[in-house]
């Protein structure tokens, strides 16, 4: 889109439990304040926003992500790298192997439901993915509306959770890979990682929301391990219902931005002989506060 042409933002709801497709915005150009305010409002309302058909350099993608706040440095990738092409904010999600070494993380397997980097004391409030190579089949990313999951919880379970804190394990990533420098967790009550309220208040929408991180090695503080496992199993069986989700079928050039404070996401497996490559940024957030 040429300089000086007004961008008229339209947010079209996906029709699923969350998410909207934003039309009329070229992310390779700096967003003016009005356009940014419209995109930001849509993101808070829908939890996930999708922009199709973008052509971005790494610098464009970082600049767009930075409009939402300071960027976190990416976590260590499975190949031990902490940055890509000299850009510490970029994380590569890919199954591609170059010169015998994976260029990124998560391979071609399933990535289980999670919220990015929730094991940090101050987890990123948002993440964005930019699709560079997409396989012909598989590798869809599903998103889950954690406001809706909380609102549909049985009242007694919700009350138990309102006083609870959950430990978010940092030893494994969502592909189930043990991170460099960590030991395998044998007792979840000793898992490394930050604890957060199970029902924090979203700082921008003001709404209470369920905040779970990921299931593996998760632990409800202060409970016996068996009791914590039973509560978490009940909770996860509830949240993993299709009625709370949106399925994103990727196209090259898609940018998807999601709110880590009120959504979770997972990724379908795909044929390992096909190529998938996306760049991810993560935008700094604050410590979750109980509702």
Question: What does the binding site for ligand SIN look like in residue numbers (CB under 6 A)?
Answer: 93, 106, 111, 116, 141, 174, 265, 267, 280
Nearest distance, CB of residue 144 and ligand SIN, angstroms: 12
Task: Specify the residue, 35 or 168, whose C-beta has the smaller distance to ligand SIN.
Answer: 168
Nearest distance, CB of residue 225 and ligand SIN, angstroms: 27
Nearest distance, CB of residue 189 and ligand SIN, angstroms: 26
Burial 155-172 (b: 16+ CB within 10 A, else e): eeebebbeebbbbbbbbb
Nearest distance, CB of residue 168 and ligand SIN, angstroms: 15
Residue from 37, 29, 22, 23 nearest 5 by CA? 29
Burial 183-206 (b: 16+ CB within 10 A, else e): eebeebeebebbbbbbbbbbeeee
Task: Specify the residue, 141 or 170, whose C-beta has the smaller distance to ligand SIN.
Answer: 141
Q: Which of helix, strand or coil describes residue 138?
A: coil
Task: Specify the residue, 106 or 164, whose C-beta has the smaller distance to ligand SIN.
Answer: 106
Nearest distance, CB of residue 13 and ligand SIN, angstroms: 21
Query: What Cα–Cα distance (Å) separates residue 212 from each residue in 138, 144, 149, 280?
Result: 26, 12, 11, 21
Residue 241: its H or E element: none
């Amino acid at each position: 889109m040429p300089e000086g042409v007004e961008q008229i933002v339209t947010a079209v709801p996906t029709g699923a439990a969350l998410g909207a497709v934003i039309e009329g915005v070229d992310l390779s150009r700096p967003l003016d304040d009005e356009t940014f305010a419209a995109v930001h409002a849509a993101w808070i309302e829908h939890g996930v926003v999708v922009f199709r058909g973008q052509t971005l350099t790494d610098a464009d993608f970082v600049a767009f992500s930075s409009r939402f706040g300071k960027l976190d440095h990416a976590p260590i990738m499975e190949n031990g790298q902490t940055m890509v092409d000299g850009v510490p904010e970029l994380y590569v999600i890919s199954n591609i192997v170059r010169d015998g070494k994976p260029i990124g993380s998560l391979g071609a397997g399933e990535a289980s439901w999670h919220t990015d980097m929730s094991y940090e004391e101050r987890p990123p409030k948002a993440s964005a993915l930019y699709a560079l190579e997409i396989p012909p089949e598989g590798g869809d990313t599903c998103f889950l509306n954690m406001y809706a999951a909380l609102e549909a919880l049985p009242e007694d379970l919700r009350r138990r959770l309102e006083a609870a804190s959950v430990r978010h394990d940092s030893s494994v990533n969502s592909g189930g890979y043990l991170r460099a420098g960590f030991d395998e967790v044998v007792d979840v009550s000793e898992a490394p990682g930050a604890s957060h309220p199970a029902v924090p208040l979203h700082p921008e929408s003001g709404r209470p929301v369920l905040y779970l991180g990921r299931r593996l090695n998760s632990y409800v503080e202060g409970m016996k391990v068996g009791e914590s496992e039973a509560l978490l199993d009940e909770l996860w069986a509830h949240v993993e219902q299709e009625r709370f989700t949106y399925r994103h079928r990727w196209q090259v050039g898609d940018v998807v931005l999601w709110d880590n404070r009120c959504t979770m996401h997972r990724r379908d497996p795909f044929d390992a002989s096909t190529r998938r490559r996306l760049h991810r940024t993560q935008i700094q957030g604050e410590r979750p506060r109980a509702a």
